[in-house]
Amino acid sequence: MSEGVINKLKLQGFEPALVDELMLIGRKRSVKKDAVVIAKDDVLGEIPFVIEGLLKLMRSDGGNELFLYYLNSGETCAMSINCCLEGTRKPISVIAEEDSLLWMVPASAIDSLVRKYQGFRRFVFRTYQERFDEMLAALDSIAFLKMDERVIKYLLDKKQALGSFEIHMTHQEIARDLNTSRVVVSRLLKQLEKEGRIEQHRNRIEIL
């Protein structure tokens, strides 16, 4: 069982000793679809590595939520690392988009891992870089795209991340992720359907 975890870690360019140490100090965590992995304003004791599945990171501010980006298998959350090192809270939450398998590493260990292993150091830099790019993309879409384009982008991103042309969501749920109203999403999806770009069924959207 932990074979899968080990292999995933090795793929990150981690040296054997690092993998051993991660296996030793970490623990497995399985989450079901829609489970809250990190709630807003949590103080994190552990950092989640995605072994299998898919997480989505949301910006949360008061009652509002906004989808920022996905965390794929093999990735981890730069926000959490930052959060752990500084011991601060962040107004974000992480939700399981699918049933997922995580490897939780104690926050207290991160500091020494970074010092000890070049592979880990690189990994951290790389995740920061990748997340920064994702953030930039998310910012662009909010700043420069109209809502209809944002919906399209959202669907395509989701298709990409999910590896499926079928998206099982209600208009209401999509609206929440984009921080807009259900009615707006319904109208735009209807339009897309007329244009022949999607097909709609109840709780399900098919991208053509």
Q: What is the closest distance, in whole angstroms, from the C-beta atom of residue 138 to DNA in the complex?
A: 21
Check if the beta carbon of residue 95 is closer than 8 Å to that of residue 54: no
- Taking the complex as a whole, how short is the minimal distance between the CB of residue 98 and DNA, in angstroms? 19
CB 84 within 8 A of CB 127: no
Token output for 24: 């030793």
Q: How far is the CB of 70 from DNA (least distance, A)?
A: 22
Smallest distance, DNA to C-beta of residue 202, A:
4
In a 10 Å sphere around its CB, with 0-12 CB exposed, 13-18 middle and 19+ buried, how is residue 72 labelled? middle
Sign of CA dihedral 141, 135, 40, 167: positive
Residue among 33 and 190 whose Cβ is closer to DNA: 190
**Which residues are CB-contacts of 160 (< 8 A; sequence separation ≥ 6)?**
none
Q: Which is nearer to DNA, 55 or 178 (CB)?
A: 178
Closest CB to DNA among residues 78, 188: 188
Shortest Å, Cβ 155 to DNA: 13
201 neighbors 193 (Cβ within 8 angstroms): no
Given the rule CB under 7 A, which residues bind DNA? Answer: 170-172, 181-184, 186-187, 189-190, 193, 200-203
d(Cα 205, Cα 178) in Å, to the nearest integer?
A: 16
Question: Whose Cβ is closer to DNA: residue 115's or residue 194's?
Answer: 194
Q: Which is nearer to DNA, 27 or 32 (CB)?
A: 32
Q: What sign does the dihedral 134-136-142-148 (CA atoms) show?
A: negative
